[in-house]
């Protein structure tokens, strides 16, 4: 079945490139900017579920890999950002797409003022990429890994080709629950970014299993609801940390909040305001961007109390709440987190929440860590209920 799926997907995208068929993934490109240096032929066949946010982190001279490069739009934007001293590699399995991308590469280089093209397009598939070990600084991908039958193999390939200290930022379609067999075996829907969707939990879990750490959401958008399954566009970033000796001088990490308690991907737990001794590997992980606003790292224990300026807490309103069918999906960078109302959020697992918790999650401190969905099939005329102990609320 795997070979059949790959063939069907390739044929679907080749047909779209040849006919101008509009694919179904949500996009977020600024075409007015991109058309200043990318030919219309490329822009016309650009499919994805979000402009790769990882490109905002690119430094001149880096090597960027795009999995599922299609007509080359993301590669050409990466080429602009890495500059003539950098390098971009695009991987795609569809000959029609590769032909269009290669034809336009020298045009883009000329428009950018580069002496020659710094973009190379290679034929390959995501689970066996023709790229050397440890040779890439940043991996991007835009609504492509969803199409691969064996995503865990793709995540292992990503880990293999990244340099130590490298990172990925990928956009993809995920589901709020397991996709049933009748959709999984519908090969036509694979090209629609439906049949291959993993749950958020399984998607991120596969990345952790491959060796990535610090995995967290950059943004998320609702996409479609089909047969009660909610499909979301999500952009995730994670890191291949440099190897460090686990032992060394004592370091301490103090959780600032907004959560009252969290457990990281290495299994270490932290309580807000309490200094926790950590080893070198954990210290390296907590130095990555998603943790920098959440922790104080120090050589000696740093203890915080509620009156300290660094203490972050968002308390729920003390009033009745209403159930409206809302669910919160925690998206990291921890495997588990607890708020001040004693909700325990497991990463990737939808948790039903009331109106009070929804308001907490909408705050600036909480919102970056959650996707919110509503599973009600119609408007809910909820009745306010007490959140006192035994009141039937959260």
Which residues of 93-149 form beta strands (DSSP E)? 119-123, 136-142
Q: How confident is the model at residue 7 (pLDDT cuts 50, 70, 90)?
A: low
Contacts of 270 (CB under 8 A, 6+ apart): 253, 254, 255, 261, 262, 263, 264, 276, 295
Per-residue pLDDT tens over the stretch 34-85: 999 999 999 888 765 556 778 888 999 999 999 999 999 999 999 999 999 9
- CB contact at 8 A, 119 and 88: yes
Predicted confidence (pLDDT) at residue 14 exceeds the cutoff of 80: no
Residue 256 DSSP symbol: -
Could you tell me the pLDDT band of residue 203, with boundaries at 50, 70 and 90?
very high
365 vs 382, more confident:
365
Beta bridge partners of 225: 230
Backbone angles phi, psi at 225, to 5 degrees: -120, 125
pLDDT-derived band at 247 (thresholds 50, 70, 90) equals confident
pLDDT class of 25 with cuts at 50, 70, 90 = low
pLDDT band at residue 383 using 50, 70 and 90 as cut-offs: confident
Q: Which domains does the chain have, with CATH numbers?
A: 2-239 (3.40.50.150), 244-313 (3.40.5), 316-394 (3.40.5.100)
Per-residue pLDDT band for 179 (boundaries 50, 70, 90) equals: confident
Of the pLDDT bands very low, low, confident and very high (cuts 50, 70, 90), residue 161 is: very high
Given this model, what pLDDT does residue 109 score?
97
Asked if pLDDT for residue 15 goes beyond 60, the answer is no
- Sheet containing strand 275-278, edge to edge, reads 275-278, 251-255, 295-298
Tell me the three state secondary structure of residue 360. Answer: helix
* pLDDT for the residue numbered 188: 65
pLDDT for 210 equals 98
How far is 160 from 118, CA to CA, in rounded Å? 23
Bridging pattern class, strands 63-67 and 229-239: unpaired
**Residue range 384-393, pLDDT digits in tens:** 877 654 444 5
The closest alpha carbon to 147, from 97, 188, 197, 186, belongs to: 197
CA distances (Å), origin 194, targets 110, 147, 185, 223, 254: 38, 9, 11, 10, 41
Over the chain, what is the mean pLDDT? 88
Which residues have C-beta within 8 Å of that of residue 266, sequence separation ≥ 6?
Answer: 213, 281, 282, 285
How high is the pLDDT of residue 1? 46
Under the banding of pLDDT at 50, 70 and 90, the label for residue 234 is very high
What confidence category does residue 148 fall into, taking pLDDT thresholds of 50, 70 and 90? confident
What's this model's pTM, rounded to 2 decimal places? Answer: 0.89
């Amino acid at each position: 079945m795997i070979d059949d799926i790959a063939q069907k997907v390739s044929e679907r995208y080749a047909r779209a490139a040849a006919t101008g068929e509009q694919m179904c993934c949500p996009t977020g490109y600024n075409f007015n900017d991109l058309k200043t240096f990318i030919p219309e032929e490329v822009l016309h066949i650009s499919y994805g579920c979000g402009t790769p946010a990882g490109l905002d982190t690119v430094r001149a001279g880096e090597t960027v890999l795009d999995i599922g490069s299609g007509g080359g739009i993301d590669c050409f934007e990466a080429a602009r950002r890495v500059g003539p001293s950098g390098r971009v590699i695009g991987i795609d399995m569809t000959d029609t797409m590769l032909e269009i991308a290669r034809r336009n590469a020298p045009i883009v280089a000329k428009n950018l003022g580069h002496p020659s093209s710094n973009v190379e397009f290679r034929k390959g598939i995501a689970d066996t990429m023709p790229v050397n070990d440890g040779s890439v600084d940043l991996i991007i991908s835009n609504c492509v890994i969803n199409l691969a039958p064996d995503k865990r193999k793709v995540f292992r390939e990503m880990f293999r080709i990244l340099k130590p200290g490298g990172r990925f930022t990928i956009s993809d379609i995920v589901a709020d629950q397991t996709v049933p067999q009748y959709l999984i075996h519908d090969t036509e829907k694979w090209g629609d970014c439906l049949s291959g969707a993993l749950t958020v939990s399984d998607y991120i879990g596969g990345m952790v299993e491959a060796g990535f750490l610090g995995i967290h959401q950059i943004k998320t958008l609702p996409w479609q609801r089909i047969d009660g399954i909610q499909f979301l566009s999500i952009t995730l970033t994670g890191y291949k940390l440099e190897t460090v000796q686990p032992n060394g001088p004592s370091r301490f990490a103090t959780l600032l909040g907004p959560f009252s308690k969290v457990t990281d991907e290495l299994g270490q737990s932290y309580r807000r305001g309490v200094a926790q001794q950590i080893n070198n590997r954990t210290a390296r992980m907590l130095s990555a961007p998603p943790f920098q606003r959440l922790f104080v790292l120090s050589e000696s224990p740093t203890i915080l109390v509620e009156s300290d300026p660094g203490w972050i807490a968002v308390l729920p309103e003390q009033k009745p709440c209403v159930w409206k069918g809302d669910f919160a999906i925690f998206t990291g960078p921890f495997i588990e987190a607890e708020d001040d109302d004693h909700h325990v959020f497991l990463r990737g697992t939808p948790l039903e929440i009331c109106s009070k918790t929804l308001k907490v999650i909408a705050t600036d401190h909480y919102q970056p860590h959650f996707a919110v969905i509503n599973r009600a099939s119609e408007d809910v005329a909820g009745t306010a209920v007490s959140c006192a102990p035994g009141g039937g609320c959260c």
